[in-house]
């Protein structure tokens, strides 16, 4: 700020000289305040722009999937009573789970901090767009989690839920944001032929038509159904290259099916238009010998705290090695949500007997009936979505 010369035509009068001095002092002081304000404004302006770039730089040098669980009383991010869309099989508190410490854990990567899920930011960035989860009931677990997380910041927003088979959609009408779930537990086709269920390892046409129709984010998962046997097995025959098999090595079948999915993505998805994610294998907790702490039951029933540290002493799923190899061979950019290990540490986060899908007699027999496969909501899938949010926007 340029200061005009101040001419004080002061006489020898002391009072006039004092008045002249005060005038000069006040003018200089005002100029200093103006300059300081400008400098502070510039500093704040710089910091506001640096914040997001700092997060990006932080995450670039960080493996978000290596870390540990820390207590955080600001969690959970929503209340089950405020989200009426949670399936009875995931709604643990509604069906009698009285402990709540399992809700108050946050995933902390070893060398960085994850950005907190911001539902309003999600709605604004996804305005006019669609996210679709494709897969089995673990994908549905994550779909319902995302609905609840976003709904928590827009409780008065107009919404619409359309439940169907295989497609269900939830829409935030005010933002024109759609979050969908498409049930395809194997990803590849399964058809009924002459009363028999045929799992076609090298075909994906029936399921895939809707996946490529105006979808901006696709998140796939599969895994558990490939291992089921007996009454839980979802197919009668497998078909590969026109030949029917009553059974084959399940890991080989899983890889065949996953490579069919990978070829479909490489052929049909434009990565400049659609982001593709694959959710890592979600673990189960039916064998207490896999974790070091003394077990409280014959499975996950009664477990109330996570495993401490970053290491899980049980086996790493062979299916994850297949997933990693298949994604590595793809030409279309596919982001792996590597949630397996961090989820292995959460033996406390399953529905166990606190599920509306169980009868009173089943709840009375946790050794036989506890669900140690799916996850409570609120709960662990909220962290999966925090990681998905981070991969999408940072």
Q: Which residues are catalytic?
A: 137, 371, 374
Which are the contacts of 207, defined by CB distance < 8 A and separation ≥ 6? 134, 166, 182, 184, 187, 188, 189
Residue with tokens 């003018």: 27
Element (H, E) at 17: helix 14-60
Q: Dump the DSSP string for 34-95.
A: HHHHHHHHHHHHHHHHHHHHHHHHHHHT--TTSEEEEE-TT--SS-GGG-TT--TTT-TTTT
Whole-angstrom CA distances from 4 to 17, 38, 238 are: 19, 21, 91
Distance CA 176, CA 373 (A): 33
CA atoms within 13 A on the CB side of 24: 10
Query: What is the b/e burial string over 357-390, where b = at least 16 CB atoms within 10 angstroms of the residue's CB?
Result: ebeeeebeebeebbbbbbbbbbbbbbbbbbbbbb
Q: Which neighbouring-strand residues pair with 277?
A: 219, 335
Strands 237-240 and 243-245 turn out to be antiparallel
Distance CA 188, CA 309 (A): 37
Whole-angstrom CA distances from 35 to 24, 28, 42, 353 are: 17, 11, 11, 66
What is the CA 198 to chain-centroid distance, rounded?
32
The answer to whether the beta carbons of residues 306 and 348 sit under 8 Å apart is: yes
Distance CA 293, CA 286 (A): 14
Phi then psi for 108, rounded to 5 degrees? Answer: -120, 105
């Amino acid at each position: 700020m340029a200061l005009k010369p101040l001419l004080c035509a002061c006489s020898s009068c002391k009072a006039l000289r004092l008045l002249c001095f005060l005038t000069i002092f006040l003018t200089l002081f005002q100029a200093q305040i103006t300059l300081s304000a400008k400098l502070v404004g510039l500093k704040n302006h710089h910091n506001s722009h640096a914040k997001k770039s700092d997060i990006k730089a932080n995450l670039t040098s960080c493996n978000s999937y290596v870390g540990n669980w820390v207590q955080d009383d600001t969690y959970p991010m929503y209340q089950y009573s405020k989200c009426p869309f949670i399936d009875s099989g995931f709604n643990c508190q509604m069906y009698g789970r009285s402990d709540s410490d399992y809700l108050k854990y946050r995933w902390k990567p070893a060398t960085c901090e994850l950005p907190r899920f911001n539902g309003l930011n999600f709605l604004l960035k996804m305005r006019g767009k669609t996210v679709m989860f494709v897969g089995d009931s673990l994908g549905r677990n994550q779909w319902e989690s995302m609905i609840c997380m976003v709904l928590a910041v827009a409780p008065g927003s107009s919404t619409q839920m359309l439940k169907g088979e295989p497609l269900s959609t939830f829409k935030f009408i005010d933002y024109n944001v759609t979050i969908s779930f498409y049930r395809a537990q194997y990803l590849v086709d399964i058809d009924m032929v002459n009363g028999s269920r045929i799992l076609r390892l090298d075909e994906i046409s029936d399921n895939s038509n809707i996946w490529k129709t105006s979808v901006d984010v696709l998140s796939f998962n599969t895994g558990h159904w490939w291992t089921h046997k007996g009454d839980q097995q979802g197919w009668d025959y497998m078909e590969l290259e026109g030949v029917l098999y009553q059974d084959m090595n399940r890991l080989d079948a899983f890889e065949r099916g996953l490579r069919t999915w990978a070829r479909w993505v490489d052929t049909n998805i434009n990565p400049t238009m659609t982001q593709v994610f694959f959710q890592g294998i979600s673990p189960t907790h039916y064998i207490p010998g896999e974790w070091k702490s003394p077990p409280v039951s014959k499975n996950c029933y009664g477990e109330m705290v996570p495993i401490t540290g970053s290491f899980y002493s049980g086996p790493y799923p062979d299916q994850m090695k297949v997933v990693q190899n298949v994604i590595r061979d793809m030409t279309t950019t596919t982001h792996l949500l590597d949630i397996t290990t961090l989820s292995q540490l959460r033996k406390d986060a399953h529905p166990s007997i606190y599920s509306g899908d169980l009868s009173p007699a089943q709840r009375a027999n946790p050794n036989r009936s506890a669900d140690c496969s799916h996850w409570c909501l609120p709960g662990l899938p909220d962290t999966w979505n925090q990681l998905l949010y981070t991969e999408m926007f940072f």
